[in-house]
Structure 1
């Protein structure tokens, strides 16, 4: 699919949506909408559908929590066009109190990678003093860097520049990469 062929993306979460948030993921120039998420409000168990555009006629991905309100939740990622399970993302609950940390699981539930916030000091400052320090996440697979998510400086609208171009072997399935971006904006964005 053409949406998954880019190395760089730009993600923007809508500001102050009372009845559910919206996330739009564009190409790096912000000229073409590639993915759209309309999050339902007041859900105890996350069930996120990723669409190709705002008409919500074509489902691309489903990101579904396995349980209701779990500190170390696991989210399964499914390609809706083929009904293929791509893998899972597991939040490292206790470790994420001070610094956001996730694990990337393959379809056999084996840990194959991680998503980690940039530094402990910056993470603590963000949580306890100010949200004016942009977040950065490093994505690794088999202990090799495959992507970076860099929050742009905007205290009102959560936005990320996404760069998968360091992934020279294309080891990271872009569908999983998009699911990572969306989960970080929805789950970790709640603490800001």
Structure 2
């Protein structure tokens, strides 16, 4: 699919949506909308649909929590068009209190990679002093960096520049990369 062929993306979460958030993921130039997420409000168990555009007529991915309100929740990622399980993402609950940390799981729930916030020092400053320090996340597979998410400086609208252009980036299924971006904006964005 064309949406998954890009190496760089720009993700923007809508500001102050009372009845569920919206995330738009564009190409690097911010001209072409590639993915649209409308998060349902008041859900105890996350069930996120990723669409090709705002009409929501073409569903591409489904990201679904395995359990209700779990501190170390596992989110399964499925390609809706082929009904193919792609893998899962597990939040490292207690470790994420001070510094956001996730595990990337294959379809057999084996850990194949991680997603980690940039530094413990900056993470603590963000949590206890100010949210004006932009976050960065590093995505690794088999100990090789495959992607970087860098938050832009905007205290009101969570936005990320996403880069999957490293030498090892092809090791990451781009569908999983998009799911990572969405979960970080929804789950970790709640602590802002």
Q: 1:96 to 1:169 in 2, by over 3 A?
A: closer
Deviation of 1:36 (Å): 0.1
1:189 and 1:128 map into 2 onto residues whose CA distance is 15
Q: 1:47 to 1:106 in 2, by over 3 A?
A: same
1:39 and 1:3 map into 2 onto residues whose CA distance is 20
C-alpha contact (below 8 Å) 1:106/1:112 kept by paired residues: yes
3-state DSSP class of the match of 1:86? strand
Deviation of 1:169 (Å): 5.5
Name 2:43's counterpart in structure 1: 43
Deviation of 1:168 (Å): 3.6
Deviation of 1:167 (Å): 4.2
2:47 and 2:115 map into 1 onto residues whose CA distance is 21
Name 1:53's counterpart in structure 2: 53
2:135 and 2:168 map into 1 onto residues whose CA distance is 24
Q: Deviations over 1:68-114 (max 9, x none)?
A: 00000000000000000000000000000000000000011100000
2:169 and 2:12 map into 1 onto residues whose CA distance is 27
TM-score (normalised: structure 1): 0.99
2:136 and 2:142 map into 1 onto residues whose CA distance is 20
C-alpha contact (below 8 Å) 1:147/1:167 kept by paired residues: no
1:91 and 1:129 map into 2 onto residues whose CA distance is 23
Deviation of 1:123 (Å): 0.1
1:13 and 1:157 map into 2 onto residues whose CA distance is 6
3-state DSSP class of the match of 1:134? coil
Q: Deviations over 1:42-74 (max 9, x none)?
A: 000000000000000000000000000000000
C-alpha contact (below 8 Å) 2:144/2:168 kept by paired residues: no
User: Gaps (5+ residues) in structure 1?
Assistant: none
3-state DSSP class of the match of 2:18? coil
3-state DSSP class of the match of 1:44? coil
C-alpha contact (below 8 Å) 2:145/2:168 kept by paired residues: no
2:97 and 2:108 map into 1 onto residues whose CA distance is 27
Q: What is the aligned residue count?
A: 192
Q: 1:94 to 1:169 in 2, by over 3 A?
A: closer
Q: 1:29 to 1:169 in 2, by over 3 A?
A: closer
Name 1:102's counterpart in structure 2: 102
Across the aligned residues of Structure 1 and Structure 2, the Cα RMSD in angstroms comes to 0.6
C-alpha contact (below 8 Å) 2:147/2:169 kept by paired residues: no
C-alpha contact (below 8 Å) 1:62/1:78 kept by paired residues: yes
Runs of 4+ in 1 over 6 A off after TM superposition: none
TM-score (normalised: structure 2): 0.99
3-state DSSP class of the match of 1:170? helix
